[in-house]
Amino acid sequence: MGMIHTALKTLLLLFILSFGMCQKAFSQQDTSKVYEWNGGLIRFHTVEKGKTLYSISKMFQVKQEDILLMNPSAENGLKTGMVLRIPVAASKSDKAPEKEQPKSSQQHTVKAKETAFGIAKMYGLTVAELEAMNPEIQQGLKPGMQLYVYPASVKKPEDPKKTAELMSDRRSKSNEGNPVKEESVSCSVLSKEQQNRPFQISILLPFFLPSGEELNPKARIGLDFYSGAKLALDSLKKLGYQITVHVFDSQNDSTSVDDFLKNPALAKSDLIIGPLYSSAFIRVAEFAKSKNIPAVSPFSQSDALLTSYPNVIKVIPDLLSQIQQSGPALKKLHPNARYTLIRNSNEKDKELADAFKSSLLVSAAISPDDFQEITYSSMSDLLEKLSEANENVILFPSTVQVQVIDFVGRLSAARTGKRITLVGLNDWNNYENIEFDHLNNLNFTCAAPSSTNHSSGAARLFQSRFKEEFKGEPTFYAYQGFDVTFYFCKQIASYGKSFLKCLPEVPLVCGINSCYRYSRIGENDGYENQFIYLLEMDNFELKRRNQP
């Protein structure tokens, strides 16, 4: 431990001397919201267990036949979880409040490689909502299809006077001591001369600076991330980029956040990286939004960081996004397989199972003949339904640790004579008492937002540089610090003030640990990384199966 502390203190001293210390799951719809639909007004309602068409018609005081008219599929009976369009009488009392005008439907033309999940997130919807508006997509998405969608929110008309004042203020600030003219909104890469202009970034990490001899153990993550970031900044400097770096100790308390938000250096930044913790990041995101500064969240998966924050960029996609993106990759790796989805009774896992189903049937266009669903309690049925001739891809998105360990053990023991690939969650690798020989037998596969190929030339070079400068082995946080810092500084240099607008058009870029391909999740929301690796256990090691 003493050697570790010494190394950490050396790293801390090094960055102080070098740069200075500046100190949505789909749930019950809100039935108060009114939407425009084909010239009329509707609400959405999710059918609950035990509810009938009669009881719902009485709840909303509308005729049963009017509900059926807008929901033809309901003629075959209601199912729990079904989303219904409920007509709203055009009386004065039923009109939407003045502050919340009915949302007008608009059409979205499906592009090649677009998924239902991606389109839904773009408009602030869930897949279930999108399917309710467009039942035909349950048969598969095709380029050129016209879908009905609702924007995530209705933007209020801006006050012309305030808008003029804001634009004037931005122009005056951009001219203060800045000889470089404001870049065009074109997404063409800037000239080499423009890329080498001076710019500033701020890095906000939890160092928990020591008051005594001992460092706070929590400081390790921040210090490791910064060590990778420093090597990235050194590489960028050698390439001719002129970057001024401000480093702040974000810790994880409101006092430290309040202190560095007052620092003038933060407001002048062209890019903010961090903090790592969601609670602190939200406050920084609000500040960055007011200053129109891109803010990068390196680790948090929460979509709450992106909602209404168009300047925020999330490096790690949330679990639902990872699952939704895995379907096409699975189909490419297992084109002739039979797919079996195992469902359990856990409410949280239901959403994950729905995402897998949508990803396979809609995004990957798997034939319904090659897809089946069974419950976790029907283990014997599973073994009988597995194909002898084809490969069997079994998907079990369970977060119940005891259940996972039991299922993996039983499936491994009963797999004789059948080709099986078990698709689960990356977190399973952290479960205590899970038998890795069972996972290895089942070709365990999972989606992951990052994966380091330690034998690659780039990784070996990074390891060598890290050992030389910091006298130790790099951790995941060090690799992530390098990739995140190098990628975003490079894009800021390449696109200037057009960076955020152009981010979705930047081609896929891969670092040592992660790849980056971004899209905006909603009209007024931030950006989420859309790339995941599929990892498969081979000889007790998770290896990449899909290459960029």
Helices (H), 155-246: 160-175, 192-195, 219-238
Q: Do 10-20+161-317+457-535 and 320-448 have matching folds?
A: yes
> Which tokens hold the place of 343?
């469902």
Encode pLDDT of 260-307 as tens digits: 888 999 999 999 999 988 888 888 999 999 999 999 999 988 888 888
* Domain ranges within the chain, ordered by starting residue: 10-20+161-317+457-535, 35-149, 320-448
Residue predicted with more confidence, 40 or 5: 40
**Percent of the chain topping pLDDT 90:** 39
Query: Out of 118-132, 185-199, 243-257, 334-348, which region has the weakest mean confidence (pLDDT)?
Result: 118-132
Top-level class of domain 320-448: alpha beta
Q: What is the mean pLDDT of residues 233-260?
A: 86
372 sits in which H/E element: strand 371-375
In sequence order, the 6+-apart residues with CB closer than 8 A to the CB of 151 are 103, 106, 123, 124, 523
Residues in Cβ contact with 514 at an 8 Å cutoff, skipping those fewer than 6 apart: 315, 449, 450, 480, 483, 484, 529, 531
> Residue 58 is which amino acid?
K
Tokens of 376: 């976790």
Q: What is the pLDDT of residues 477-530, one digit of tens each?
A: 999 999 999 999 999 999 998 999 999 999 999 999 999 999 988 778 899 999
- Judge whether residue 476 has pLDDT over 50: yes
**163, burial (CB in 10 Å: exposed 0-12, middle 13-18, buried 19+):** exposed
Let me know if domain 10-20+161-317+457-535 sits in CATH 3.40.50.720.
no
CB within 8 Å of 192: residues ≥ 6 apart: none
Whether the model clears a pTM of 0.75, i.e. scores above it, the answer is no
Higher-pLDDT residue of 48, 310: 310
Pick the CATH number of 35-149 from 3.40.50.720, 3.30.300.130, 3.20.20.210, 3.10.350.10: 3.10.350.10
Residue 48 has pLDDT above 90, yes or no: no
* Confidence at 437, pLDDT banded by 50, 70, 90: very high
Taking residue 89's Cβ as centre, other Cβ atoms within 10 Å add up to: 14
pLDDT class of 78 with cuts at 50, 70, 90: confident
Q: Residue 316 pLDDT more than 80?
A: yes
pLDDT, the chain, mean: 80
Exposure letters 114-134 (e unless 16+ CB within 10 A, then b): bbbbbbbbbbbbbbbbbbbbb
CA distance 363 to 114: 8
Distance CA(68)–CA(50), nearest Å, equals 18
CA 336 to each of CA 139, 368, 389, 390: distance values in angstroms, whole numbers, following the listed order: 19, 13, 10, 7
Residue 141: both structure tokens together: 């998405």
Q: Helix and strand tally (H, E) in the chain?
A: 19, 21
Backbone angles phi, psi at 447, to 5 degrees: -85, 145
- Please state the rounded mean pLDDT for residues 354-377: 88
Question: Mean of the pLDDT values across residues 9-35?
Answer: 46
Position 211 scores a pLDDT of 54
Distance (Å, rounded) from C-alpha 252 to C-alpha 274? 12
SS3 of 539, please?
Answer: coil
Do 42 and 86 contact (CB within 8 A), yes or no?
yes
pLDDT in tens, 446-474: 999 999 888 889 999 999 999 999 989 99
Of the pLDDT bands very low, low, confident and very high (cuts 50, 70, 90), residue 127 is: confident
